[in-house]
Structure 1
Amino acid sequence: MEYVGRVPGPPLDRFIDDIYCLTGVPRHRRMNIPPMPSAHLFVNLGGPVRLWDSDPAVPSAVLTDGWFMGVWTRRFLVEHPTWVRLVGVHFKPWGMSAFIGMPASELRDRWVPVDAVWQRSVDRIQNQVGDIASPAETLCVLEQELRSRLAEEPPRGLDLVRHTGRRLETSHGALPVGALAGAVGVSGNHLATQFKSHVGVTPKRVARIYRFSRLILSVDASRPVDWSELAQAAGYFDHAHFSREFKDFTGHTPTEYLTLRRRFPAEQGFPPDAGPMPAD
């Protein structure tokens, strides 16, 4: 598949890591996706996509048009159609809050049809980009839609979450939440409440996801891997806790995951997100 993406212009770049087009035949149709520090918007221009939660109590879903996904705290599985064509948005963990007009907690660990959040928007986007061959033009349409949806004033508390979230991002989740709250002069409970509203999870949970993301992206499968060294560099000081969280987030032990990475190297030209792996 071809991945064409870019960072949108200001002020969208305060809330969005990138917008992108994904087109072509998938190398692997079924993928296992661990938690990553982002929320998502997908507008589907191809065949139906099936999603599974790693929680077996949650039924799978078949989505044809478009869907929002909040921050995920556990892995999920996606099955692509034989030909993929979609446009998407990688929001920063707090970024979706500036566009949706609802608590981000309502989208945590969920996929929700776009029209349930943005009424009557999917058909308009699909009609605008349906016959456009150029990814650059397609991304311009998507960026225009995002600009029209951006709140004129940030929701109450979002600036606080954005500021503290950026500090968690730059520290890769290593900054203690108590110190984070103290630095901005609020209580830990107040900060947690604002994060739940604008991210969907607590700052401690966001820190865990950033820490895990740093670990996954630091794995060089072409070389011998010292898991203890990588875990300690990422902020894991309890090996049992690291092993348990790794299995929870990926569905594999570190050794099993490394075997898969070596068997299925990341596709060249894709963004630096080495976490997803073939599910079959």
Structure 2
Amino acid sequence: MEYVGRAPAAPLDRFIDDIYCLTGRPSHRLMRVPPMPSAHLFLHLGGPVRLWDSDRSVAPEVLTDGWFMGVWTRRFFFEYPNWVRLVGVHFKPWGMAPFTSVSAADLRNRWVPVDAAWQRAVNRIRDRAGDVAPATATLRMVEEELRSLLADTPPRGLDLVQHAGAVLEASHGAVPVGLLAERAGVSGNHLAGMFKAHTGVTPKRMARIYRFARLIVSVDALHPVDWSELAQTAGYFDHAHFSREFKEFTGYTPTDYLALRRRFPVEPQGPQDLGPMPGD
């Protein structure tokens, strides 16, 4: 698939890491996605996409127009159609709050059809993009819509979460939560409450996800991998804990994950390739 992406200009860059467009025939239709430190908006301009949770009690869903997706604390799966034309927005974990009234708690480990809050914007993008608009033009349209939907006044507590979240992002989750609250001048309970309100998860859980993300994107399957060194660099100092968390987040042992990556090599083109892996 062709990947075209862009980092948005201020003030959107406070809330969004990148906006991208995928077009073409996927090399792997079924993908497995581990927890990553981001929330998402997907606008599908092509065929329907099937999604399902690693929690078997949650029914799969087929979505046609698009969907919001909050921060995930467990892996999920999706299946591309035969031909893909998709626009994705990688929000920072706290970044969706100024754009939609759907709460972060309601989006945690969930997907919500985009028409629940954004139907007019989706219709405008569809009308302007049609089937032939170049990816760069489509991304400009999406950025314009996001800019028009950005709330003038940030929700209460968002500045606190943004500041503390940026520290977690820069440190890859290495700053203890107690120190994070102390630096912010608030209690640990207050910080946790604001994080849950704007990201759906606690700062401790977010730190775990940042730590795992640092590890998973540092794996180079084309060369020998020293898991102990990678784990320690990422902040895992207990090998048994590292192994359990890796299996929990990916569904694989480190050895099996590496074998999968070597069986299905992926040449990274953009952020969407840094987490998802071919499904079984």
* TM superposition score normalised by structure 1: 0.97
**Residue in structure 2 matched with residue 221 of structure 1 by the alignment:** 221
Q: CA deviation at 1:131?
A: 3.8
CA–CA distance in structure 2, aligned partners of residues 55 and 162 of structure 1? 30
Q: CA deviation at 1:103?
A: 2.3
Root mean square deviation of aligned Cα: 1.2
Unaligned runs of 5+ in 2: none
Q: Is this contact kept in 2: 1:67–1:114, CA < 8 A?
A: yes
Q: Is this contact kept in 1: 2:69–2:108, CA < 8 A?
A: yes
Matched, 1:207 2:204: no
Q: Is this contact kept in 2: 1:41–1:66, CA < 8 A?
A: yes
Q: CA deviation at 1:215?
A: 0.3
Amino acid at match of 2:109: D
Q: CA deviation at 1:4?
A: 0.4
**Residue in structure 1 matched with residue 86 of structure 2 by the alignment:** 86
**Residue in structure 2 matched with residue 95 of structure 1 by the alignment:** 95
Q: CA deviation at 1:85?
A: 0.3
Matched, 1:75 2:75: yes
**Residue in structure 2 matched with residue 155 of structure 1 by the alignment:** 155
**Per-residue deviation, residues 162-211 of structure 1 (Å, max 9, x unmatched):** 00000000000000000000011100000000000111100011100000
CA–CA distance in structure 2, aligned partners of residues 164 and 273 of structure 1? 27
The DSSP-based 3-state class of the residue aligned with 1:20 is strand
**Residue in structure 2 matched with residue 176 of structure 1 by the alignment:** 176
Matched, 1:40 2:40: yes
Q: CA deviation at 1:268?
A: 4.4
Cα 1:28–1:272 shift into 2, 3 Å: closer
Matched, 1:240 2:240: yes
Question: Counterparts of 1:119-138 in structure 2 under 5 Å?
Answer: 119-138=119-138
Q: CA deviation at 1:54?
A: 0.3
CA–CA distance in structure 2, aligned partners of residues 134 and 159 of structure 1? 36
Q: Is this contact kept in 2: 1:97–1:155, CA < 8 A?
A: yes
Amino acid at match of 1:58: V
Cα 1:218–1:28 shift into 2, 3 Å: same
Identity %: 72
**Per-residue deviation, residues 6-32 of structure 1 (Å, max 9, x unmatched):** 101110011000001110000000000
Amino acid at match of 2:202: T
The DSSP-based 3-state class of the residue aligned with 1:174 is coil
CA–CA distance in structure 2, aligned partners of residues 272 and 141 of structure 1? 20
Question: Counterparts of 1:138-153 in structure 2 under 5 Å?
Answer: 138-153=138-153
Q: CA deviation at 1:223?
A: 1.5
The DSSP-based 3-state class of the residue aligned with 1:51 is strand
Unaligned runs of 5+ in 1: none
Amino acid at match of 2:116: A
**Residue in structure 1 matched with residue 250 of structure 2 by the alignment:** 250
Q: CA deviation at 1:272?
A: 7.1
**Residue in structure 1 matched with residue 231 of structure 2 by the alignment:** 231
Amino acid at match of 1:80: Y
CA–CA distance in structure 1, aligned partners of residues 36 and 107 of structure 2? 15
Cα 1:102–1:64 shift into 2, 3 Å: closer
Amino acid at match of 1:212: F
The DSSP-based 3-state class of the residue aligned with 1:4 is strand
**Residue in structure 2 matched with residue 61 of structure 1 by the alignment:** 61
Q: Is this contact kept in 2: 1:115–1:121, CA < 8 A?
A: no
For structure 1, which segment, 221-230 or 136-145, has the greater mean C-alpha deviation from structure 2 after superposition? 221-230
Q: CA deviation at 1:267?
A: 2.8
* TM superposition score normalised by structure 2: 0.97
**Residue in structure 1 matched with residue 192 of structure 2 by the alignment:** 192
The DSSP-based 3-state class of the residue aligned with 1:141 is helix
How many residues get paired?
280
Q: CA deviation at 1:119?
A: 4.2
